[in-house]
Structure 1
Amino acid sequence: MGGPLPLGEPAPADGALPPGTVIDAHTDFGVYLHVPFCRVRCGYCDFNTYTSDELRGARQDQYADVLLEEIALARRVLAAAAPPRPASTAFFGGGTPTLLPPGDLARMLDGVRDAFGLADDAEVTVEANPDTVTDAVAAELAAAGVTRLSVGMQSAVPHVLAALDRTHSPANVANSVAAARRAGLAVSVDLIYGAPGESLADWTTSLEAALALESDHISAYALIIEDGTKLARQIRRGEVPAPDDDLQADMYETADRMLGAAGFEWYEVSNWARTPAQRSRHNLAYWRGSDWWGFGPGAHSHIAGTRWWNVKHPSAYALRLAGGESPSAGRERPGAEARLLERVLLESRIRDGLPVDALDGRGRRAVAGLVADGLVDGREAVHGRVVLTLPGRLLADSVVRALTP
């Protein structure tokens, strides 16, 4: 069910933006639609998701109608602040969005289209568990305007899937990717490395399997142990080993080497695409600090420098909207130092890099040392950008610390 929400100031009941907010009409606008339902809670997961046993006072078959109420609220709030901007990206995340009928996802997307419009070339992504994708599901999603399916593969090795509490089989991944292809959808697959008992040979097997799917995009994330999860408790009790940092570094280097040899190019520390056009535009908007509205329980939003987040539980979310109130639990408007830290943290992770002149004096002076240490690309630095080398990607947090106050 995720960790605690951030601290912040109270959000107004009507959801209005702070007085004086100026929205740049040229800044991309995206929408995130959170579907908080899962059949099974994976042992490593810290997302705001719920199984049927954990839900009280919330129904999956009513969820689309509830979320449409927040879309209507967003339309009123944004119309009062600036001329409408069509959404350039939409992303259904979770949870498992494909646990809902495709018609419900289509109605939510229609709500976005009616409220804001969708750009002609909008990227519309749906995350999916391989167990939930059939030819009929993929065809309905494509007909609704979805352009891209993100498949939660995680691993191709059965004992690794079991360690992660994943319920699908490796064969289901190939079947879901094939169904998406037949429907004309672009495909991304997600992998996780460093699970208990996973060897470098296991990881290589998963990478080979992912490449054999001939997807357009591959994400590879190091397993992180989050407090409060089943896996954290198992590690604390000594039932399974904690991830090995050195092994995870070897796994990352193996991924970068194998994906690069297959024609993929890294564009963010954990993401590779065959071409620039196949990068996740929605995620790039996060990393570049664009505007987005996050719909659903626990979802976060950012418009013109103001951030806010919704109440977490689906029933509390529904009750707020049923009462005509915003579901926002709190909000903040970060100061200059916090905005700089966030910009460095996010933009340094992408291949396009961070402009050196965005740094303060201390950060600019640190660039030469990072180049000397082999963590920042020297040629890019000469041209005024901080771009991580492969060792720099492995030590990205250290680079951020060096570049910020």
Structure 2
Amino acid sequence: MSESCPDHACGQASEEPLSLYVHVPFCRRRCSYCDFFLVTRLDHIEAFFNALAVETLAAAPLLRGRRVKAVHIGGGTPSLVPVRLLAGWLDLVASLCMFTSDVEIALEANPEDLGGNSMAELQAAGINRLSLGVQSFLPRKLSALGRRHTAEEASVITAEALNRFAAVSVDLICGVPGETLPEWLVDLQAARSLVVPHISVYMLSVEPKTILERSIAKGRVRVPEEAVQASMYAAAIDTLGSSGYQHYEVSNFALSGHHSRYNLACWMREPYLGFGPSAHSFMRDDGSERRRANAGTLMRYLDNPRECVAFEEILSEEDRFVEQVFLTLRINLGLDVEFLRKHNKLGLNLSTAVEDFLARGWIVIENDQIFLTGKGFLFADHIAGEFISG
């Protein structure tokens, strides 16, 4: 992979760095809890990357002159596609823009895809961060989630990834059907003992129209009560916090210097371009801000990747305010009280809401900045909603 584009392609680098996301929508099968856009027809992979190249070239005017600091390849399961296709797309992007010297290029991967020489091939292609969809190190939980890898593979592949890559993240899910708090503590300890530098903790969410939702409706499975899930989340905060992990976002914990650069850029409302079906983008241009989303259908994307945008809007001042409140609370950077008062019409109602959340132990105020507590993270969206209502 080339590190930068030729001068005639890049021109003058923009001051604001850009992040990129590509949605690779292929999976061998759909997990019961998943509601992401994906397809299980793997015979379209080559056609998809051809279309991806067309869409990327069409975005050349947005890429030229930009420094790219982060690339996130998600899905789907991008680790199941041939590495040469990933490398080809990265080379194409590098010919159109300029990667920073410390660019973070992350790939979402399942443990069962990373045997043999695959990690070395990914490194050669330019991947320098792996986000492993481990979900659990316990056989029973993996079976309940319908995961293809074994508990042994989860541990072995994670350990090997840590030996090869400076940046590794592991996804863990709590609240799996039948799960107990002691089981969850074993999972946390397994990740902690491996010294995984970044851990994403997700409480199992029962999304509409998923296999899991139908199974629950038919009485086939039961998930832990909300109070149990809350205790698991609190256990993650305590366990990982005591081991030096920074709880820098609702679902994410990192040792110093190991936060996800792409995800943090999105939460901090920095510009990013998305490629592939269902991918989202956020861009600034001459003082305006706009968001857009590609259509979540593979066939439409393959037919015309140049014209695949399904939604686009220019953000109003109110939209920006709402996003700022929600996202600042999500990453707990400190929400300025005067900013809240200035941009909404709550008046005394704002003071009442703040006092209520303080009394509940959901927030603290330091230097006129509002921060969520560990307990408050559970109610981040509710708190944000109260701050912007009216």
TM-score (norm 2): 0.89
Once the 2 structures are TM-superposed, how far is the Cα of residue 48 of structure 1 from its aligned partner?
Answer: 0.5
Contact in 2 for aligned 1:142/1:185 (Cα 8 Å)? no
Which residue pairs with 1:300 in the alignment?
Answer: 280
Which residue pairs with 1:161 in the alignment?
Answer: 142
Which residue pairs with 1:393 in the alignment?
Answer: 377
What is the percent sequence identity of the aligned residues?
Answer: 39
Equivalent-residue separation in structure 2 for 1:118 and 1:285 (angstroms): 16
Q: Which runs of 5+ in 2 are unaligned?
A: 1-12
Equivalent-residue separation in structure 2 for 1:198 and 1:284 (angstroms): 30
Question: How big is the alpha-carbon RMSD for the aligned residues of Structure 1 and Structure 2?
Answer: 1.9
Which residue pairs with 1:16 in the alignment?
Answer: none
Supply the AA of the counterpart residue of 1:315: M
Which residue pairs with 2:10 in the alignment?
Answer: none
Once the 2 structures are TM-superposed, how far is the Cα of residue 137 of structure 1 from its aligned partner?
Answer: 1.4
Once the 2 structures are TM-superposed, how far is the Cα of residue 140 of structure 1 from its aligned partner?
Answer: 1.6
Which residue pairs with 1:351 in the alignment?
Answer: 332
SS in 2 for 1:267: strand
Once the 2 structures are TM-superposed, how far is the Cα of residue 399 of structure 1 from its aligned partner?
Answer: 1.1
Contact in 1 for aligned 2:47/2:302 (Cα 8 Å)? no
Once the 2 structures are TM-superposed, how far is the Cα of residue 223 of structure 1 from its aligned partner?
Answer: 0.8
User: For 1:131, which of 100, 112, 116 is the aligned residue?
Assistant: 112
Residues 1:60 and 2:45 aligned together: yes
Supply the AA of the counterpart residue of 1:33: V
What are the superposed Cα offsets for residues 126-149 of structure 1, whole Å, 9 maximum, x if unpaired?
Answer: 000110013521112112221110
Which residue pairs with 2:38 in the alignment?
Answer: 49
User: For 1:282, which of 255, 262, 285 is the aligned residue?
Assistant: 262
Which residue pairs with 1:375 in the alignment?
Answer: 362
Equivalent-residue separation in structure 2 for 1:198 and 1:387 (angstroms): 31
What are the superposed Cα offsets for residues 19-50 of structure 1, whole Å, 9 maximum, x if unpaired?
Answer: xxxxx944331000111011121000000011
SS in 1 for 2:307: coil
User: For 1:187, which of 159, 168, 176 is the aligned residue?
Assistant: 168
SS in 2 for 1:377: strand
Contact in 2 for aligned 1:223/1:243 (Cα 8 Å)? no
Equivalent-residue separation in structure 2 for 1:135 and 1:211 (angstroms): 25
Contact in 1 for aligned 2:198/2:254 (Cα 8 Å)? yes
Supply the AA of the counterpart residue of 2:363: V
User: For 1:141, which of 122, 126, 130 is the aligned residue?
Assistant: 122
Matches of residues 5-404 of structure 1 in structure 2 within 5 Å? 25-52=14-41, 59-76=44-61, 78=62, 84-134=65-115, 136-275=117-256, 277-304=257-284, 305-321=289-305, 325-359=306-340, 360-361=343-344, 362=346, 365=351, 366-378=353-365, 380=366, 383-404=367-388
What are the superposed Cα offsets for residues 305-336 of structure 1, whole Å, 9 maximum, x if unpaired?
Answer: 21111122222101113xxx321122112322
SS in 2 for 1:64: helix
Q: Which runs of 5+ in 1 are unaligned?
A: 1-23
Alpha carbons of structure 1 residues 41 and 29: separation in structure 2 relative to 1, 3 Å = same
Q: How many equivalent pairs are there? A: 367
Equivalent-residue separation in structure 1 for 2:80 and 2:338 (angstroms): 46
Which residue pairs with 1:9 in the alignment?
Answer: none
Supply the AA of the counterpart residue of 2:384: V
Equivalent-residue separation in structure 2 for 1:290 and 1:397 (angstroms): 21
Once the 2 structures are TM-superposed, how far is the Cα of residue 98 of structure 1 from its aligned partner?
Answer: 0.6
Equivalent-residue separation in structure 2 for 1:338 and 1:196 (angstroms): 38
What are the superposed Cα offsets for residues 55-100 of structure 1, whole Å, 9 maximum, x if unpaired?
Answer: 7xx6113322221111111113x26xxx621111000001110111
Once the 2 structures are TM-superposed, how far is the Cα of residue 384 of structure 1 from its aligned partner?
Answer: 3.0
Moved more, 142-151 or 172-181: 172-181
Supply the AA of the counterpart residue of 2:108: E
Supply the AA of the counterpart residue of 2:374: L
SS in 2 for 1:190: strand
Alpha carbons of structure 1 residues 25 and 243: separation in structure 2 relative to 1, 3 Å = farther
Higher relative CO (Cα under 8 Å, sequence separation at least 6) belongs to 1
Equivalent-residue separation in structure 2 for 1:402 and 1:176 (angstroms): 43
SS in 2 for 1:298: coil
Contact in 1 for aligned 2:19/2:272 (Cα 8 Å)? yes
Equivalent-residue separation in structure 1 for 2:338 and 2:104 (angstroms): 31
Contact in 2 for aligned 1:317/1:327 (Cα 8 Å)? yes
What are the superposed Cα offsets for residues 271-299 of structure 1, whole Å, 9 maximum, x if unpaired?
Answer: 10010x11111101111111111111111
Alpha carbons of structure 1 residues 206 and 146: separation in structure 2 relative to 1, 3 Å = same
Once the 2 structures are TM-superposed, how far is the Cα of residue 396 of structure 1 from its aligned partner?
Answer: 1.4
Alpha carbons of structure 1 residues 155 and 184: separation in structure 2 relative to 1, 3 Å = closer
